[in-house]
Amino acid sequence: MYILSAEAVSPQASFEQMLETPQNYTGDQLHCIEPDYTRYVDAKLIRRMSRIIKMGVAAASEALAHAGVQMPDAIVTGTAYGCLADTDQFLTRLVEFKETLLSPTAFIQSTHNTVAAQIALMLQCHNYNNTYVHRGSSFEAALTDAVSLLEEGDAQRVLVGAADEKTEKVMLF
């Protein structure tokens, strides 16, 4: 069992630039340095994607490319809270519009499995796809699932990831 690639969108420059130009920060809140998403997603789709989905898709695309994997046998992700910004947007509009005339887009994109689902849709991957939501232990659960799939012979190459976001209203600890 080997890790073929590891990628992240983080407060440091993303992907191969991460180690070249490390950023210095002060304070307790950091913001991700986002890559050029047009390298990973059709420009028409980008405007409909939330920030967390774009970051997850970009990181997954880079990881698969560097690993030389076109189609994973499984996609397993973890998230502590899911897509908070879309959940917040949906609930705010629910109150503002008094539960009428709501667009379902924010609700659809607020589910916890949205990042893994979007990755699968873009790859046209119909293989195993699972998202764990266990607050602080979600990534560990995703890793455990991936190891189980590999050890049991149910998968040869597994894309494992985690995605969470902080919003103005909620600070993740």
Smallest CA-to-CA distance from 169 within 52, 88, 50 is with 88
* Alpha-carbon dihedral angle through residues 21, 26, 32, 33, given to the nearest 10 degrees: -30
Q: Which pLDDT tens digit goes with each residue over 84-115?
A: 777 777 788 888 887 777 777 767 766 778 89
Is 63 exposed, middle or buried, given 0-12, 13-18 or 19+ CB atoms closer than 10 A?
A: buried
What integer pLDDT is reported at residue 170 of this predicted model?
63
What integer pLDDT is reported at residue 173 of this predicted model?
46
Task: Take residue 78 and report the two structure tokens written for it.
Answer: 């973890």
Give the span between the Cα atoms of 41 and 35, in whole angstroms. 11
Give the span between the Cα atoms of 149 and 145, in whole angstroms. 6
Q: Quote the strand ranges of 66-141, DSSP E.
A: 74-79, 128-133
Q: How many CB atoms lie within 10 A of CB 75?
A: 26
Kindly list the structural domains of the chain, giving each domain's residue range(s) and its CATH number in brackets, ordered by start.
15-162 (3.40.47.10)
**Is 116 within 8 Å of 129 (Cβ atoms)?**
yes
What integer pLDDT is reported at residue 169 of this predicted model?
67
Q: Which pLDDT tens digit goes with each residue over 63-77?
A: 999 999 999 999 999
Cα 28 to Cα 108, 167, 172: the distances in Å are 31, 14, 11
Across the 173 residues of the chain, what is the mean pLDDT of every consecutive 10-residue run?
A: 90 74 80 90 87 93 96 95 75 82 70 88 96 89 97 97 79 52
- Using left for φ > 0, alpha for ψ between -120 and 50, and beta otherwise, residue 127 falls in beta
Please, how many CA atoms are within 13 Å of residue 29, restricted to the half-sphere of its CB?
Answer: 7
What integer pLDDT is reported at residue 75 of this predicted model?
98
> Does the CA dihedral 78-80-84-88 come out positive or negative?
positive
What integer pLDDT is reported at residue 67 of this predicted model?
96
Residue carrying structure tokens 């609700």: 107
Q: How much is the pTM?
A: 0.84
